[in-house]
Structure 1
Amino acid sequence: MERRHPTLADVARVAGVSKATASRAINGAYGTSPTVRDHVRSVAARLGFAPHVAARALATGRGGPHRRDRIEVLIVDPDPAAMSAKPFYGRVLAGAMRALGGENLSLEVRRVAAAPSDEDDAPFGRLLINLPGAAGAALARRSRTVALGRSAPGVVFVAPDNDSGGSQAAAHLVATGRARIGAVFGPSTPCADERRAKFLRVMAGAGLSVAAVDGDFTRSTAYAATRELLRREPELDAVFAACDVTAMGVLRALRETGRRVPHDVAVVGFDGSALAEAADLSSVYMPVEEEAASAVRRLLDPALPPAGRLPTTLTVRGSS
């Protein structure tokens, strides 16, 4: 019987590391210490493991042992127009690229409609956006992982101070005398849930109820949701939008139904993107670029202390 050739999985098992770490150590890729590289290569030599460069290049499409390793920005968003329609993602990429600087790492962006299953060809590190907790935890077992927003217990995350942002938006509307409040909230992600919960708590503390609908951070859904809110509550005098893209749909619906902003209805968004400035929209600013940069720095050096919650600040403009 022909003797079976040892595989990368055999090397990883004997060396006591993951396949991804074994591959990086053997190839001299970024992300393994000299001690780990020497250990893995010693095990590979002892087992008689000989990687086939051409086969590996064909399998991965990445050009063999001298390829640059990569950080993957994994975005779960069912909106096919998400990358062009939502400024948040562009700001994430700008911050991630700034943090990479001169490192010999590439940045790979992948948008998927639903959380992917575990994969064999794990990158050096992953930046997770909108990943459900269980899916995030599964991916974190394969490579270094940092989430933007809370994920599963044990998964490192960086997030804005959504509580403070939701509180500032609500307090501003109360302070300016608005009493018939509507809201177009976001999908059930940790960050959206946090800003929603705090906004509602502040309004309840002021003795005000909120006519609320759920959205999905798209302009079209926000437009339809606002039309529905106005049918239910025609005397609304304020609307809180869970993000600036949502606010664009809110503003369109108000304009088409003859409501003047801010005279009849005040509008406050969340993100502080370029959209807010262009539309003269009051919005809670999130330091998205710094959030992404901090996450990438943590991927590069897991020994860094947690970033903590990054501050959010309401900028008041003409919409409120």
Structure 2
Amino acid sequence: MMDQRPTLADVARAAGVSRAAASRAMNGAYGVSATVRDRVRAVAAELGFEPHAVARALATGRASAGRRDRIEVLIVDPDPEAMSNKPFYSRVLTGAMRALGDHDIALEVRRVATLPAEDTDPPFGRLLINVPGAAGAAYARRGRTVALGRSAPGVRFVAPDNDGGGYQAAAHLVTSGRRHIGAVFGPPTPCADERRAGFMRVLAGAARPATTADGDFTRSRGYTATRELLAREPRLDAVFASCDVTAMGVLQALREAGRRVADDVAVVGFDGSTLAEAADLSSVYMPVEDEATSAVHHLLDPALPSPPRLPTTLTVRSSS
């Protein structure tokens, strides 16, 4: 005799939600609103649906293996020492953990040099960092995804006002009388492009030529790029570094060249990290922890409205 007991698919259909949403509502998992959860459970009670105990344990991730829902922080960075060399990532993790609070959700961090070809074990949600737009869109089609920084159209993201931060840095150097300004920009990513655009807009308006070099958010490239700038413009009296890690290389190159900071050459970074504080470096502060907190909140509740750009603020110290 065929089993005529209602299934989870029957509950989902009657409640007007997906089977995945019905499962989360029944299991008390995150990702559905209280309204949806109550509706699904009311429909289940009306239909007489009773989840199998083993299936329920597997669905909630609390089977014998002890697995839980997890949020994966996926970082694309070829530097194997990136997690220790770049304060940005530790600040992201701080903000993500703040958002999770006491939620029974694991936080998993994965740094890769290149994106994996397969996605055999998708998490509850993903926080993407440095993931190219097309790849970000592909991940978004597979499940809930939020990027830190602008990504492909249709991919929800959280980002600071990079353009405004670049603008503030350039305005500070111009108004303080610097005339031979250089810049070490970042890699071809949306956040680096926005910082470059804001910075160059000020110089164009002030009719100040800029000596620029491309960077990659590393100290080593900041060092070599600054040596290139000095060779091309010996009168260099200011350098904008598009991140604080890059600025550390800039400072090293200037010291070795016998240039005094800030008497001879002013230096401004971007991030406002502990590196900037330790080096007494003028830097554009961006609220990385708040970015990550907002991103995780949007992973937990996709119904939240799209987040606005977070403000950036230049902190002037002795380097400029």
TM-score, normalised with respect to structure 2: 0.84
1:16-31 correspondence runs (5 A)? 29-31=29-31
Contact 1:117–1:135 at 8 Å: present in 2 too? no
CA shift, 1:28, in A, is 6.2
Match of 1:3 in 2: none
Q: 1:23 to 1:211 in 2, by over 3 A?
A: farther
What amino acid sits opposite 1:269 in the alignment?
G
What amino acid sits opposite 1:129 in the alignment?
I
Q: Find out whether 1:240 has 2:240 as its counterpart.
A: yes
Local SS of the residue matching 1:128: strand
Distance 2:209 2:116 in 1: 39
CA shift, 1:174, in A, is 0.2
CA shift, 1:148, in A, is 0.7
Q: 1:154 to 1:202 in 2, by over 3 A?
A: same
CA shift, 1:156, in A, is 0.7
Contact 2:186–2:192 at 8 Å: present in 1 too? yes
What amino acid sits opposite 1:276 in the alignment?
A
Match of 1:269 in 2: 269
1:62-77 correspondence runs (5 A)? 64=64, 67-77=67-77
Match of 1:6 in 2: none
Cα deviation per residue 1:114-153 (whole Å; 9 max; x = unaligned)? 2333513211111111111110011111121111110111
Match of 1:137 in 2: 137
Contact 1:118–1:138 at 8 Å: present in 2 too? no
Distance 1:238 1:214 in 2: 16
Match of 2:295 in 1: 295
Distance 2:55 2:93 in 1: 34
- Residue identity over aligned pairs, in percent, reads 72
What amino acid sits opposite 1:178 in the alignment?
R
What amino acid sits opposite 1:272 in the alignment?
G
Q: 1:36 to 1:190 in 2, by over 3 A?
A: farther
Contact 1:20–1:121 at 8 Å: present in 2 too? no
Q: 1:113 to 1:19 in 2, by over 3 A?
A: farther
Q: Find out whether 1:208 has 2:185 as its counterpart.
A: no
Distance 1:38 1:125 in 2: 27
CA shift, 1:65, in A, is 7.5
Distance 2:22 2:132 in 1: 28
Contact 1:116–1:135 at 8 Å: present in 2 too? no
Match of 2:310 in 1: 310
What amino acid sits opposite 1:106 in the alignment?
A
Distance 1:295 1:256 in 2: 41
Match of 2:153 in 1: 153
Local SS of the residue matching 1:220: helix
Distance 2:304 2:26 in 1: 26
CA shift, 1:304, in A, is 1.4
Match of 2:125 in 1: 125
Contact 1:244–1:283 at 8 Å: present in 2 too? yes
Contact 2:30–2:300 at 8 Å: present in 1 too? no
Match of 1:8 in 2: none
Which deviates further from its counterpart, 239-248 or 136-145? 136-145
Aligned residues: 303
Runs of 4+ in 1 over 2 A off after TM superposition: 14-40, 50-54, 62-67, 115-118
CA shift, 1:30, in A, is 3.6
Match of 2:281 in 1: 281
Local SS of the residue matching 2:290: helix
Q: 1:196 to 1:313 in 2, by over 3 A?
A: same
Local SS of the residue matching 1:297: helix
Distance 1:182 1:151 in 2: 28
Distance 2:182 2:233 in 1: 8
Match of 2:258 in 1: 258
Q: 1:195 to 1:124 in 2, by over 3 A?
A: same
